[in-house]
Structure 1
Amino acid sequence: MFLLAVSPRVLVRPLARPLVAVAAALLLLTGLTWAGSPAQAREDQRQAGSSAPAGRFAVATLNLKKGMRVAGMRHDIRPIIGGGATVIGFQERLFSRPALRAALPKDWTLLMPKGPTGTDDNPIAFDKDVWELEKTWAPLLTGTTWRRYSGRIAHDQYGVAAVLRHRASGHTIRALSFHLPNHLHNRHSGGPNYANRRGVEAMWRMAARIRAIKEDTPDAHQFVAMCDCNVTANRDTGDHLVKGRITKPLRLETNYSADDHRRGSGIDYVMAERDSDFRIHSFRSYRHLVTDHPGIVTTFTRKR
């Protein structure tokens, strides 16, 4: 009688593929998710976004660090999209349109208008499989503003606006991406920093223009804004900054007030009109980025 010594690996290998197939089938039957490669995960997320569930969508805001190149922007945009965002409002673009376009997936559209200096600082990008563009423009928010760090007069400040219709639900949003002046906020008093009076006054003019854009929004559309507001949310206690000039008079909810148990303190906001079929349900901050701001992904769900 002869004994044949067989390595366990030899026995396992022929069984590997059937076992994998059986496991995959079980996952499909039970509704669990197969943890594949990062590329597959991104494709799965894209497919999930493309299916455009009618009861949910997510909007993000992302401030880009000055001088970021394609690799850095792609690194930061990837987790934001992976978090479910199908609309992103950027601020401080500060680099070329081709570079930002190259950092986005091919199935996304970039709205970065050409015109006077400043029209392209706050572009909006969206997944065209999820949203249909109805209109876009670059509203002038203030013609006299500030220069970062020095407080001197800089170029005119524009936002970028887009009317987007959700392909699955038919829900339409008027999205606005903008950037407020820096050094606005006295963190001790919770009110304006009057040492930067010109910046504060520029913010007031911008807030008035934002209110006008919101008031011009048709009742059937939901106003949604994405900004680097340069005001710390949980210390904005007066009526002269973001809370008093934008969110309160327009009855907007934000990523920092949507959940009473998860209040934040940052300066990057997603704002949304409360009187809508869709309300802010949750938000998530992405902080391990190349840029010096967190990316905020805010999820909206249909009211029951």
Structure 2
Amino acid sequence: MLSVTPFHRALARLSALVLSVVLLAAGTTLVGSPSQAREEARSGSAASVPGGRFSVATLNLRKGMRVPGMRHDIRQVIGGGASVVGFQERLFSRPALRASLPKSWTLLMPSGPTGTDDNPIAFDKDVWELEKTWSALLTGRTWRRQTGQTAHDQYGVVAVLRHRVNGHVIRAVSFHLPNHLHNRRTGGPNYANRAGVEAMWRMAARIRFLAQDARPSHQFVAMCDCNVTENRDTTDALVKGRITGPLQLETNYTGRKGGSGIDYVMGERDSAFGIDSYESYRRLVTDHPGIVATFTRRR
């Protein structure tokens, strides 16, 4: 029999070391790193699929917010995994909102008449590639506010984004529906604000067009302050009957967690990705929760 000498043992250790270096150079590891293990535990079954998930947020900004407040709130929803954020009621300067975003993010705020910059979209350029963006007029005749003055025309910002890893394309739109729209007692429209209700109908028709006009391979995703409480929306005249129902959209409130509210992330059901879960961030400077909905690959 061959005896195992110290020389043979040293040679075996050297061979194992060389093999490990070769495997590392080829991008292969025998044992996952701690960071990989944490990511797999966090991502579940989708972790094995490159780009198997992404998260979208909606965040209504309070009028008069300064950079520190916006930065705090944005960091909360981005920390929740969001790589796309739809804002509503920006009502402050463009430079301030840009300054509130991380360096890898870009802000889509088309120039135009008053109102085109109320509902901008921001996204992480490391995650998404911009294919196209524009502002869509949702209604030219809108509702009267408490002051009795006619509000300006209402626009939604639209962005076509391609995921850099999995190639999935979304047509995202951020918009804001009229205030005092919902009669919570009846579950239907608040006809005391008839102008607002009719404006919502016009806006819903335009949103349906934006969704139906998208390419079949592009998933329609919407972020909104819809001003309608989800679990009391019981007729065909509001959000469920005019937007989510006809377009077959799922929302953060029909994900794995139940809930109710007026801030929605919506996603087209007939897509490779669907809303798997969501988180609601309430300890914010603004007066609305930030909603982060996570889309997971379904097929």
When normalised by structure 2's length, the TM-score is 0.84
Instruction: State how 1:6-155 maps to structure 2 within 5 Å.
Output: 28-29=33-34, 53-150=50-147, 152-155=149-152
SS in 2 for 1:298: strand
Residue 216 of structure 2 corresponds to 219
Question: What is the CA-CA distance between 1:219 and the residue it aligns to?
Answer: 0.2
Aligned positions, number: 260
Q: Which runs of 5+ in 2 are unaligned?
A: 1-30, 39-48
Q: Distance in 2 between matches of 1:267 and 1:192?
A: 14
**Contact 1:85/1:297 (<8 A) preserved:** yes
**Contact 2:105/2:124 (<8 A) preserved:** yes
Q: Distance in 2 between matches of 1:107 and 1:149?
A: 40
Q: Distance in 1 between matches of 2:104 and 2:152?
A: 33
SS in 1 for 2:209: helix
**Contact 2:144/2:195 (<8 A) preserved:** no
Question: What is the CA-CA distance between 1:68 and the residue it aligns to?
Answer: 0.2
Q: Distance in 1 between matches of 2:72 and 2:250?
A: 29
Find 1:258's aligned residue among 237, 255, 258. Answer: 255
Q: Taking every aligned residue pair, what percent have the same amino acid on both sides?
A: 76
Question: What is the CA-CA distance between 1:150 and the residue it aligns to?
Answer: 3.7
Residue 26 of structure 2 corresponds to none
**Contact 2:141/2:153 (<8 A) preserved:** yes
Instruction: State how 1:190-229 maps to structure 2 within 5 Å.
Output: 190-229=187-226
Q: Distance in 1 between matches of 2:174 and 2:182?
A: 20
Question: What is the CA-CA distance between 1:113 and the residue it aligns to?
Answer: 0.9
Residue 288 of structure 1 corresponds to 283
Q: 1:53 to 1:95 in 2, by over 3 A?
A: farther
Residue 271 of structure 1 corresponds to 266
Q: Distance in 2 between matches of 1:97 and 1:68?
A: 12
CA deviations over 1:209-266 (Å, ceiling 9, x no partner): 000111101001000000000000000010000000000000000001122xx22111
Residue 182 of structure 2 corresponds to 185
Q: 1:214 to 1:30 in 2, by over 3 A?
A: closer
SS in 2 for 1:248: helix
When normalised by structure 1's length, the TM-score is 0.83
Residue 44 of structure 1 corresponds to none
Q: 1:29 to 1:110 in 2, by over 3 A?
A: closer
**Contact 1:286/1:295 (<8 A) preserved:** yes
Q: Distance in 2 between matches of 1:89 and 1:69?
A: 18
Matched, 1:247 2:244: yes
Q: Distance in 2 between matches of 1:151 and 1:164?
A: 39
SS in 1 for 2:69: helix
Q: 1:167 to 1:94 in 2, by over 3 A?
A: same
Matched, 1:301 2:296: yes
